[in-house]
Structure 1
Amino acid sequence: LQCKSHCHGPHRPHMHSSRSVHGDQGLPGPYPTAEDPSTCDIVKATQYGMVERCKELVEAGYDVRQPDKENVTLLHWAAINNRQELVKYYISKGAIVDQLGGDLNSTPLHWAIRQGHLPMVMLLLKCGADPSLIDGEGFSSVHLAVLFQHMPIIAYLIAKGQNIDTTDLNGQTPLMLTAQKATGPEPMRFLLKFNPSLNAVDNVQKNTALHWAIASGNTSAVDLLLEAGTSLDIKNVKGETPLDIAYQSQNHFMVYMIQEEERMRNRRNNGLLKIVEKYELFLMLTSSLIFMWAIGYVMDLSSDSWLLKGGLLLSLLFGMSLFVRQLVGLKNLRYLPTAFLLSSFFWMSTTWFFWFLPDILYTQEIMMGLLYYFYKTWSTDPGYIKTSEEERKENIIALSEAGCLDFRTFCTSCLVRKPLRSVHCLACQACVARYDQHSLWTGQCIGIGNHYYYLLFLFFLTMTGVWLLYGTLQYWSNHCAASFHQDGVWMYFTQTVSCSPWVSYISSVACFHTLWASGWLTVQLYQIAFLGLTSHERMNLLVQRKSSKHPVSLRRTPYNLGCFQNLADFFQCSCFGMFKPNIIDWTKQYKLFHLAKEKNVHSV
């Protein structure tokens, strides 16, 4: 009889050299070979999950508390091999749940954690196992989960009340252990979500997590700790700051990272720079307006020297990049395209008022619609998945005990279960329901809450650009002597540009916005109407199509219900009773609904 999740025989602790202090010391002997259940001893029967044989031997008088020659009890063997039925049976027969055993002096809970058996961990905790006990290496349960990077077990232990700042025998917290031994950014990023103490020091060397990360060369951990705001001034027992250790390790990149962080923090303490940071977005928009005007001014100079104009334009570009680098933080840098877009709106409107009126009427409805739907797209909650800290812990426990704590559907950054079609946005650091994209031009995620406004924004931006291009052509025909039919393309182009360089410049900006907005609007409508997909889902399916050996259809998905039904669902419109839109709360939809008529559909 073999456990479903371990059908290839018994397991022993896998102690990789990069994660263990003592290598393979303290492990049981080599794997046993399968024997006839009626003849094998109770240890092998436990390892292989032979429940009836184990019961037979216990009923015959075997003491379940008796350790084997390696000082390992039956409960240890059952725990490491995830034999849950046997664990329950042995405990019912008097097995000590926190019995220490093996050369590493570990409890069955420690063994289960090393192997990453979350169901066994939950069972042992329910049976009274103490997660605060330390093993022979000085590690508690949460330390072992961190050391072996078993994220679901870390989440479960903390949700059950384990302190994130629990110290081991040397006074190291899980954060220090992660900084010292873990590989990759995910373990550190995951732990930081539980608000650990960043500036705690160990008992021996008085190092903080940042000291340990630098000493271990863990660049990703250093970056995350600096971003979280850890102190740069704490000295260890030798009087060394994190920067001193970086110099000693001769890691020039880490030295640069720490010095740059010190410079940024000193700037924040400057009174004038605090004011600049407070009004950073306003300054970015103002500088963008001035920059766009300056480009037009240079273009409008009476000089015929393109070398002079080119030099001035390069100087403007250098000045703008210097301003952004010195005064705009990384957090607000994503709004730079948004500032350029708003500046474009302003100068397009100004050009219409001062160059086109009164010859060509100004359609204020289009511009007002553009600004209104831009504001709605930018200000409306796109569908962030929101939960309190208490709800997060309750969800972790509930999902774990239901066997649903799958990190493909559980966000380790937000600590929430991701609903269907939701994605974690790295720019916004949040999970967004029915995620479409993070819009470059609005600086905002596009999801279930603002996707409708985003489409209308694209529509009005396209109409504004088209109307301004029409006004430009009328202006040229009224004020420029050039003729397209008589002078040819190049002569007509050069004469119209020299006739009014400013109008030509603004028309090129309008043409750029019209092209991308109209093209993207067309793609969006196609995806919504004919595929029933978001941009992110469509890109995922295209990647699947390239890597899959089997054909992947963009149309055969659970969300494609036909063109008209897709439109009715998206716009929530019944079309005078012709269609019944499906009302779905995508912020809470975890199970796939079966509305599609097609049975052969692809997962997204």
Structure 2
Amino acid sequence: MEGGGGAGPACKHHSHGPHQPQARNWHSIHKDQSKIQAAFPLVEDYSSCDIVKATQYGILERCKELVEAGYDVRQPDKENVTLLHWAAINNRLDLVKFYISKGAVVDQLGGDLNSTPLHWAIRQGHLSMVILLLKCGADPTLIDGEGYSSIHLAVVFQHMPIIAYLISKGQSVDTTDFSGQTPLMLSAQKVIGPEPTGFLLKFNPSLSAVDKIQKNTALHWAVTAGNVNAVELLLDAGSNLDIKNVKGDTPLDLAHQIQNRLLIHMLTQEEKMRIRKNSRLLRMLAKYEFFLLLLSSLTLMWAIGYIMDLSSDSWLLKGSLLLFIFFGISLLTRQFVELKNLKYLPAIFMLSSIFWLSMTWFVWFLPDLADTIFQIPFILSVMGLLYYFYKTWRTDPGYIKVSEEERRKSIVTLAEAGHLDFRTFCTSCLVKKPLRSMHCIACNSCTARYDQHCLWTGQCIGVGNHYYFILFLLFLTMVGVWMVYGTLLYWSEHCATTYRQDGAWTYFTQIVSCSPWVLYIFTLVSFHTSWSSLMLIIQLYQIAFLGLTSHERLNLMIQSKCSKHAASLRKTPYNHGCFQNLADFFQCSCFGMFKPNIVDWTKQYTLTFHPAKGKNVHCV
């Protein structure tokens, strides 16, 4: 530990030297200076304190008194540590300003590790001190006694806010240390776990850079350290598997040398997958993966219904055929479809269901409805369903999009304002979060006025497509209602049933034997109609009576359960009354009766109260 002479026994309670590496998350950096200082014991009589102790305790008056009496602020103690170092490590902002105004050298090297005050502040994770020192002219590229620059220290001690601030202020993410290692290499080698490797990858570092001595890439270092999380992240980012180090070893060779079976498997599978991607046939199939999945789903659903409709009474035979087809389709999908596209399976299942529902309507039900007016409503319902599904799926839900320059400017602005924390800043997208926005893990993007990530559309529901989503649910429910009507009419016309005489079970066996396919379709109809109608009711209730999204309502319910004081779902800044809420959501004036509020939620960072709203509201 870097020492400090003259501190006295009382200073044993303080952070005088570098701590062991530990993660500094985004939740902790918004603590104000008063809370930090409150952690230290107060000195009642500071008139006898020497200047080092007074600096560590943050006693500004005593320090000024001693400096005015002639103490040289540039004078190091017996271990070559200056007052500026002690002020920096204890996050004494006022003292740092005072010492620099009195001539302290901002980049003075000192201590056992030959570090600058900036290095000491970074080791402790004091973002506010780092900001101040940089404003005062500190050089972040200087290297300490261990060969690390400022950004390397921030990586080793896992202080992500400081990493983001240094890069945003212009320090290169590919800055090298004394041995030629970049921050990404150092993270992959020294810090076991996904962070800060994953965080650094957001700034587009070089994946092919090598160090000066071993000529290792970041992937080489991750494999050598057995850092499975870092290896996975680097492979996903596209790291080169063929680069050889000074000994002629690839990352896979190193994995064999350390006999790490998991890493060998990961690297081997990645190599095979990349070879497959170079195949012309597979590249062509990759363009049509969605349609391949859709075709597979259509085939599987038809096969299930066809097997159920077989005249054979052997359920063992039918079950065996179903298992054979299921595993065949699964194997085909695993071979030709990437894992990231499997998130569309629920949407594909729903579209396949709609296709076979429509076919059943036209082949089985239409003859019984030839003389009725129910054909046109069903056709219009299906057309509306498909149109609004497409609009929900293809419309931008409200992703927060900023340029690289805007992103870095936002990081600097929030950091210097003391607001670089999870409440106002998305640590995944590296953007300032607008009100009502949320980062979607599935889409890997922040969505404005986020409602949910809907499985049935494979898409986020946000301010851009929420309206289309409501209409999609409405038309899906209507299709289900018409199909239920058609099914009941078909059974009454074509199936001989004795429900009144023999009861429900006999009736069920009779309709199964009458047409297993129609029963199969009825099961699908019941499932889709149930979830769509329930979701439609919940959505309309939230929109009209609460003015909230699903995400906001769930958050408030969780807060209410965890808090002693129950939070009302109705008393929020976004609830303007039933009719005004509907007018705002659908942007409809209702023939001039209402004036919809037009808000760009992708850029709304401050809360504006509706004129009619009271002040007694709950935050969302």
TM range (shorter): over 0.9
Match of 1:16 in 2: 20
Whether 1:544 aligns to 2:559 is yes
Q: Is 1:448–1:586's contact at 8 Å kept on the other side of the alignment?
A: yes
Q: Is 2:18–2:120's contact at 8 Å kept on the other side of the alignment?
A: no
**CA distances 1:242-276 after superposition (whole Å, capped 9, x unpaired):** 22332333332222222221121111011211111
Whether 1:380 aligns to 2:401 is no
Q: Is 1:32–1:44's contact at 8 Å kept on the other side of the alignment?
A: no
Q: Is 2:21–2:158's contact at 8 Å kept on the other side of the alignment?
A: no
Distance 2:21 2:488 in 1: 73
Residue 362 of structure 2 aligns with an amino acid whose one-letter code is F
Structure 1 regions of 5+ residues with no counterpart? 1-7, 20-30
Distance 1:452 1:296 in 2: 35
| Equivalent in 268, 285, 295 of residue 294 of structure 2 | 285
Match of 1:454 in 2: 469
Comparing 278-287 with 356-365, greater Cα deviation is found at 356-365
Structure 1 residue 139: Cα displacement: 0.5
Change over 3 Å in CA distance of 1:451–1:186 after alignment to 2: farther
Structure 1 residue 46: Cα displacement: 2.0
Residue 570 of structure 1 aligns with an amino acid whose one-letter code is F
Whether 1:222 aligns to 2:222 is no
Residue 601 of structure 2 aligns with an amino acid whose one-letter code is W
1:84-99 equivalent positions in 2, closer than 5 A: 84-99=93-108
Match of 1:322 in 2: 331
Over the matched positions of the two proteins, sequence identity in percent amounts to 72
Q: Is 1:9–1:48's contact at 8 Å kept on the other side of the alignment?
A: no
Match of 2:46 in 1: 37
Distance 1:18 1:534 in 2: 37
Distance 1:246 1:491 in 2: 65
Change over 3 Å in CA distance of 1:385–1:79 after alignment to 2: same
Structure 1 residue 560: Cα displacement: 3.1
1:139-538 equivalent positions in 2, closer than 5 A: 139-360=148-369, 361-362=374-375, 363=377, 364-538=379-553
**CA distances 1:455-474 after superposition (whole Å, capped 9, x unpaired):** 11011001001101101111
Paired residue secondary structure (2:460):
strand
Comparing 571-580 with 311-320, greater Cα deviation is found at 571-580
Q: How many residues align?
A: 586
Structure 1 residue 600: Cα displacement: 4.7
Structure 1 residue 83: Cα displacement: 2.1
Match of 1:603 in 2: 619
Paired residue secondary structure (1:335):
helix
Paired residue secondary structure (1:424):
strand
Structure 1 residue 102: Cα displacement: 0.6
Match of 1:26 in 2: none
Q: How large is the RMSD of aligned CA atoms in angstroms?
A: 2.2
Change over 3 Å in CA distance of 1:388–1:445 after alignment to 2: same
Structure 2 regions of 5+ residues with no counterpart? 1-11, 24-39
Distance 1:493 1:365 in 2: 32
Structure 1 residue 100: Cα displacement: 0.3
Q: Is 2:216–2:244's contact at 8 Å kept on the other side of the alignment?
A: yes
Distance 1:462 1:170 in 2: 65
Distance 2:450 2:346 in 1: 21
Residue 396 of structure 2 aligns with an amino acid whose one-letter code is D
Distance 1:293 1:417 in 2: 48
Distance 1:249 1:257 in 2: 14
Match of 1:70 in 2: 79
Comparing 375-384 with 295-304, greater Cα deviation is found at 295-304
Paired residue secondary structure (1:464):
helix
Change over 3 Å in CA distance of 1:511–1:400 after alignment to 2: same
Distance 2:321 2:484 in 1: 27
Structure 1 residue 183: Cα displacement: 4.3
Q: Is 1:292–1:343's contact at 8 Å kept on the other side of the alignment?
A: yes
Whether 1:110 aligns to 2:119 is yes
Q: Is 1:189–1:413's contact at 8 Å kept on the other side of the alignment?
A: no
| Equivalent in 126, 136, 141 of residue 145 of structure 2 | 136
Residue 342 of structure 1 aligns with an amino acid whose one-letter code is L
Distance 1:18 1:282 in 2: 47
Distance 2:139 2:408 in 1: 19
Change over 3 Å in CA distance of 1:310–1:503 after alignment to 2: same
**CA distances 1:374-426 after superposition (whole Å, capped 9, x unpaired):** 11101111000000111111111122222221233211221101112211111
Distance 1:12 1:558 in 2: 47
Question: Normalization by structure 2: what TM-score?
Answer: 0.90
Paired residue secondary structure (2:196):
helix
